[in-house]
Structure 1
Amino acid sequence: MTQTFPTVPRRSLGGLEVSALGLGCMGMSQMYGTADRGESIATVHRALDLGVTFLDTSDVYGAGHNEELVGEAIAGRRDEVQLATKFSLTHNDRGGMDIDGRPENVRARVEDSLRRLGVDVIDLYYQHRVDPRVPIEDTVGAMAELVEQGKVRYLGLSEASAESIRRAVSVHPIAALQSEWSLWTRDLETEVLAVAREHGIGIVPFSPLGRGFLTGAITSPDDFAEDDWRRTHPRFTGEAFTANLRLVEAVRAMAEEKGVTAGQLALAWVLAQGEDVVPIPGTKRRSYLEENVGAAGVQLTPEDLARLGEIAPPGVAEGGRYADAAYAYGNSPERG
């Protein structure tokens, strides 16, 4: 019997129309174990076939590999795609990341991204992390020049604080804010969400499935491949893993009652947070993509949302969002 999938609706991110569900492509190049290039490209093609047309990448994912892969995957189908990429992060030789928001870096990095992606224009261009050493007004000013030059259509910020958002929009409209948001990461709701909405900025939650944990597929730290970075993530180790597993079990029990998967229920919760919310669950396999698309057909009642709010109130998860807390918004001073 042929499987049917729900129609993926459309939503607006500050004026940019995208599919209500996006595809995070990072795992096709790094972080989550070895990826199969052929399956990754097939996953992108399947996404487009199912109406998931909002693709998310970055120049730092696989040190440029991910942009090249996405560019190869969308060749011949560019008109179907809303393409987002990012700049400002680079891997350093200390095992961490350097942030560079200087205007000259903005101009150089966009040219490299355009070349790797094989496109003339990027639909949504994010600053991946705010550089505390460079006034954000200077960075966004250089990004705005790219819009004037026709190299970029819309601007975005990733993991920016409320103050950074306010300063950025004084220079140029910001279409989207990308930040972690899910049943086990609700920090965004404290302050940043309201400020973004005040300025008409759409929200793009990454890791809406709790880095895969909320799918219920991970029951032991041994489920991770040797080269999977989650082996050292604060929420996936020691007592935190055990505590967080109880949250997942509660989500899975409710999902079974509704006849959906735990991942679909968790993703439906994010989708239900507003018409300006476009989650980008990442996957490198068609089977998981298809499961995620199924979330677009899950209807949650006010009672369902209230129950999920009781299961997963803000701050429910044990462990930090990153091993290095500086990668989360607001944790490094943003000087001007």
Structure 2
Amino acid sequence: MTSQVRAAPNQDQFAAETDRFRRELLAHCYRMVGSAHDAEDLVQETYLRAWRSYAGFEGRASIRSWLYKIATNVCLTASKPRPIRMLPSGLTGPYDGPDRPPIPVPAGEVSWLEPLPDTWIAPQADDPAAVVVGRESLRLALIASLQHLSSRQRAILLLRDVLAFSAAETAQILDTTTAAVKSGLQRARARLDDLKLDLEPAELLEPTDQRARALLDGYIAAFERSDADLLEQVLRSDATLEATPFRDWQAGRVMCIHILDAYVLGTPGDWRMIPTTANAQPAAAVYHRDPAGVLRADGVVVLTATTTGVSQVIKFHDPTLVATFGFPKVLSR
């Protein structure tokens, strides 16, 4: 390919060539850092750096790989001073001690993983040429498992196994050798194998599947009616329940229902949930009624729906996430 330095940067031309990759770059940054808010900031930084160097882009690589090079290095730089983001199940085993309400981890002690609204990475309806982000590569199980890798191993695994860049392309993006890429990929895969995580269970349901929506509706009804018996119909016998910012998490339907019934469900009307999707999974924006009777944003819950029921419930106790998903802070009814 003949290289040609651009005479001068042109904002319209830059937008025409780069904007169509924004959604997939957002997904890539999210996979790298595990935070929707951080990913959004990193994409902004990526485009700022791309614009600054756009005049010198010589076309030796595609616009897409050039942007991924910038985005990946932005993420690697940002990851150095930041602690990795975790879920409770990444900290310890399931709680099996004396019966007690979950105890929150002190603020600042752990950086928690965040869910990603599917609307952030969905292609625009009027843009058939937009690249569709692989939904399976955004599921919370994978995002959580990636946190166990070093940031560089994470980048190599994502570039090779998720984005299907060649070893040579990946080496160019990371300014390293092909041999280093192959070695890093081998170590990353081995580390994930050691974790023995079932990242893509065969019985997993897409959130658009009617069975997945029925499970979500059942979970929502159980909370809004304060009906533990409904949870019995929704959760699998081996279901797990975890919630940030609590260290304790539960394994098994009996334990999950006990904790929810004893300490969470309350009375009918205490909870209101609005269906949505996150990380290619059924989800809901959660509201809780305060002492004054006002339904205020409480967080987001994400379900892993399978053909035999809900296998995992993750509740993110962060009221700001509700606005991130496009819902109001307070419900009028």
Q: What TM-score range do you get, normalising by the shorter chain?
A: under 0.3
TM-score, normalised with respect to structure 2: 0.25
Which structure: larger Rg?
Answer: 2
Larger RCO of the pair (alpha carbons < 8 Å, separation 6+): 1
